[in-house]
C-alpha cells in the first residue's frame, strides 16, 4: 500500500426532505449566489425548496450553466459574484453546475491576470476559493464530495480538469427524490460514470490494498445489482438512494487511498467530448473496453480478480465482455458507430492534441499519443 493523506471535509446531508437543511448551513452575513443549470430545478420542485430554505438570506441568482460547463459562462458568473459581493455559492443541479460553482469560487478569489491559468495548471495555482455548498440532483460525478471540476472552453474546444483541496463543498444535500425527474438517458449516464470512476482507481495492478479492492468491488457490484431497477423504476426510492450514495462513494477519494490509479479513460474521453460533444459517460463507455484490450497484459491480474469477484467469470477477456454487456444492458453504446463518428478520424485528432501537450497516461506511464490513437482507431 502506498502512503496517503485522506481528508474529505464535505458534510453530507442525505435523505428525503433534506433540502430544508441547506439554509442553516449557509452564512447569512453576505449575499449567496444561487447557481443552476438549464432549468430542470424549476420543473421538479427543487428550486422552490431551495428558495424556501434561503428565505432569510439575500439571494442572487445565476442560471444557464450548460452541460459541460463553459469557461465563458463561468466568467460572467464571476462578475456577478464580484458586483454583488456574494460570500457563498450554492449550486443546485448535476455535476456541471457543481463543477461550474467550484471554478467560479476559485476564479472569484484568483489574483492572476488570466483565469484560464486555473485550468491550464489543473488547479495548482488555486490558493483560496469562496466557500460553496451543493444540492445535488444527478448522481454521477461525485462532484458533491470531491475537489474536482471539469470546464470546457468554447473558443478553443478544450476541456480541462482542475483538482484542489480549496473547492470541496462545505456541505452537499443529497435527496434521492430529486432524481425522480431525471431522463432515462441521464440515469444511464450516471451509472456508467460512477462505474468507471471506481475502475480508474481499481483497474491497475495488485498493490497490497485488499480493503480498497473490496470497497471498489462492492460499489461495482451494487451498481450492477441495482442499476437495472434504478433505470426502470424512476420512483423507486431505495434504488435511487442506493445509486446516489454509490456514485458519491465512487469518487469521494476514499477508495483511491494508497493505490495506483489510471485516469486514461477520462482523459481520452474529455477530448471526445471537446471534439464531438458526446456526453461524458458516452465517451467513457467507448474508451474503457478498448483501453483494457490494449492494456490486457499489464492489467491482467486485476482484470481477472474483477471478473471473478464481480461477474463470476475467470478470464480477462470475459471480464471485458461482461462489462460491455452491462453497459449495453443500460442502453449505453460502446462504439463510435452509434454516433456516426469515424474511429480513424477521432484517433488522429486526439493523437495530435496529446502529442502537442506531450500527454502520457496510465499507471505505468506507458500510454502515449500513439497508443491512444490505436485504442481509439479500434473502436
Ligand atoms: O441543466 P439542467 O436544466 O439542470 O438539466 C440537466 C442537464 O440537462 C439535467 N438534470 C440534472 N438533474 C436533473 C436533470 N433533469 C431532470 N431532473 C433532474 N433531477 O441533466 C443534464 C445533465 O446534467 P449534468 O450536470 O451535465 O450531468 P452530470 O452530473 O453527468 O455532469 C457532467 C459533467 O461533470 C463532469 C463531466 O465532464 C461533465 O462536464 N465531471 C465531473 C467530475 C467531478 N467534478 O469530479 C468527474 C466526472 O468524471 C466528470 O468528468
Ligand atoms: Zn466521470
Our answer on whether the CB atom of 186 is closer than 6 Å to any ligand 1 atom is: yes
What does the pLDDT look like over 327-346, one tens digit per residue?
Answer: 999 999 999 999 999 999 99
Q: How far is the CA of 172 from the centre of ligand 2 (A)?
A: 18
Locate 9 and state its grid cell: 471535509
Q: Is 253 in the pocket of ligand 1 (CB under 6 A)?
A: no
pLDDT digits (tens, 9 = 90+) for 134-170: 999 999 999 999 999 999 999 999 999 999 999 999 9
Question: What local confidence, expressed as pLDDT, does residue 284 receive?
Answer: 98
Q: Is the CB of 149 under 6 A from ligand 1?
A: yes
Confidence at residue 312, expressed as pLDDT on a 0 to 100 scale: 98
pLDDT of residue 172: 99
Q: Strand locations in the chain, DSSP E?
A: 11-14, 32-36, 59-62, 88-93, 132-136, 148-153, 158-163, 171-174
Per-residue model confidence as pLDDT tens digits over 85-102: 999 999 999 999 999 999
Looking at the chain, the whole-number percentage of residues with pLDDT higher than 90 is: 100
CA-closest residue to ligand 1 atom 8? 67
What are 254's three cell numbers?
476514499
**Domains of the chain: residue spans and CATH:** 11-177 (3.40.50.1970), 184-377 (1.20.1090.10)
Q: Is residue 181 within 6 Å of ligand 1 at its C-beta?
A: yes
Q: 225 pLDDT band (50/70/90 cuts)?
A: very high
Query: Which atom of ligand 1 lies closest to the CA of 96?
Result: 25
Q: Residues of 166-175 as b/e, b for ≥16 C-beta within 10 angstroms? A: bbbbebbbbb
- Are 379 and 336 in contact by the 8 Å Cβ rule? The answer is yes
The average pLDDT across 250-264 equals 98
Task: Indicate if ligand 1 lies below 6 Å from the C-beta of 277.
Answer: no
Q: How many CA atoms lie within 13 A of 187 on its CB side?
A: 28
Please state, rounded to an integer, the average pLDDT across all residues of the chain: 98
Q: Pick the atom of ligand 1 nearest to 193's CA.
A: 48
Residue 34, classified by CB atoms within 10 Å of its CB into exposed (0-12), middle (13-18) or buried (19+), is buried
* Distance, CA of 299 to CA of 316 (rounded, Å): 9
- Please tell me the distance between residue 100's alpha carbon and the centre of ligand 1 in angstroms: 11
Q: What is the distance in A from the centroid of ligand 1 to the CA of 340?
A: 24
**Does ligand 1 lie within 6 Å of residue 148's CB atom?**
yes
280 Cβ below 6 A of ligand 1: yes
Residue 118 near residue 36, CB atoms below 8 Å: no
| 299 C-alpha to ligand 1 centroid (Å) | 30
Output the residue whose Cα is nearest ligand 1's atom 23.
94
Give, as one character, the DSSP assignment of residue 259.
S
Ligand 1: nearest atom to the Cα of 138: 12
Which ligand does the CA of 185 lie closest to? 1
Query: What is the pLDDT, as a whole number, of residue 100?
Result: 99
Please work out whether the CB of residue 283 comes within 6 Å of at least one atom of ligand 1.
Answer: no
Report which of 203, 136, 198, 140 is spatially closest to residue 171, judged by C-alpha positions: 136
- Three-state secondary structure string covering 298-358: CCHHHHHHHHHHHHCCCCHHHHHHHHHHHHHHCCCCCCHHHHCCCHHHHHHHHHHHHHHHC
DSSP sequence for 3-17: -------PEEEESTT
- 317 Cα to the center of ligand 1, angstroms: 32
CA 350 → CA 162, 218, 274, 277, 373, distances in Å? 20, 34, 10, 14, 7
Q: In this predicted structure, what is the pLDDT of residue 228? A: 97
Axis-axis angle for helices 280-294, 264-276 (nearest 10): 130
Q: What is the pLDDT of residues 43-92, one digit of tens each?
A: 999 999 999 999 999 999 999 999 999 999 999 999 999 999 999 999 99
Rounded Cα distance, 65 and 332, in Å: 25
Is the beta carbon of 38 within 6 A of some atom in ligand 1? Answer: yes
Amino acid at each position: 500500500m502506498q502512503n496517503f493523506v485522506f481528508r474529505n471535509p464535505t458534510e453530507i446531508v442525505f435523505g428525503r426532505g433534506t433540502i430544508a437543511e441547506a439554509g442553516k448551513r449557509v452564512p447569512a452575513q453576505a449575499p449567496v449566489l444561487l447557481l443552476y443549470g438549464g432549468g430542470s430545478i424549476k420543473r421538479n420542485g427543487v428550486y422552490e425548496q431551495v428558495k424556501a430554505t434561503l428565505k432569510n438570506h439575500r439571494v442572487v441568482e445565476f442560471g444557464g450553466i450548460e452541460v459541460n460547463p463553459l469557461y465563458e459562462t463561468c466568467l460572467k458568473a464571476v462578475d456577478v459574484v464580484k458586483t454583488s459581493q456574494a460570500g457563498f455559492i450554492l449550486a443546485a443541479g448535476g455535476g456541471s453546475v457543481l463543477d461550474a460553482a467550484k471554478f467560479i469560487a476559485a476564479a472569484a478569489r484568483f489574483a492572476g491576470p488570466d483565469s484560464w491559468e486555473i485550468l491550464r495548471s489543473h488547479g495548482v495555482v488555486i490558493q483560496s476559493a469562496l466557500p460553496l455548498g451543493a444540492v445535488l440532483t444527478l448522481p454521477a460525478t461525485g462532484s458533491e464530495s470531491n475537489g474536482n471540476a471539469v470546464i470546457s472552453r468554447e473558443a478553443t474546444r478544450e476541456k480541462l480538469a482542475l483538482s484542489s483541496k480549496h473547492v470541496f463543498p462545505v456541505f452537499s444535500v443529497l435527496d434521492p427524490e430529486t432524481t425522480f425527474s431525471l431522463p432515462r438517458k441521464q440515469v444511464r449516464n450516471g451509472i456508467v460514470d460512477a462505474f468507471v470512476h471506481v475502475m480508474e482507481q481499481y483497474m491497475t495492478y495488485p498493490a497490497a490494498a485488499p480493503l480498497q479492492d473490496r470497497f471498489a468491488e462492492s460499489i461495482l457490484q451494487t451498481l450492477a445489482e441495482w442499476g437495472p431497477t434504478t433505470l426502470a423504476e424512476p420512483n423507486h426510492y431505495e434504488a435511487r438512494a442506493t445509486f446516489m450514495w454509490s456514485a458519491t462513494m465512487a469518487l469521494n477519494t476514499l477508495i483511491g487511498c494508497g493505490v495506483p490509479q489510471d485516469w486514461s479513460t477520462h482523459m481520452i474521453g474529455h477530448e471526445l467530448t471537446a471534439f464531438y460533444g458526446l456526453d461524458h459517460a458516452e465517451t467513457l463507455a467507448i474508451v474503457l473496453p478498448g483501453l483494457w484490450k490494449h492494456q490486457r497484459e499489464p492489467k491482467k491480474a486485476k482484470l481477472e480478480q474483477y471478473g471473478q469477484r464481480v461477474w463470476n467469470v475467470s478470464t480477462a477477456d470475459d471480464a471485458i465482455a461482461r462489462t460491455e454487456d452491462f453497459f449495453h444492458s443500460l442502453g449505453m453504446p460502446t462504439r463510435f458507430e452509434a454516433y456516426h463518428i469515424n474511429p480513424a478520424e477521432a484517433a488522429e485528432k486526439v493523437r495530435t492534441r496529446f502529442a502537442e501537450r506531450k500527454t502520457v497516461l496510465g499507471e505505468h506511464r506507458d500510454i502515449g499519443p500513439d497508443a491512444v490513437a490505436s485504442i481509439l482507431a479500434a473502436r
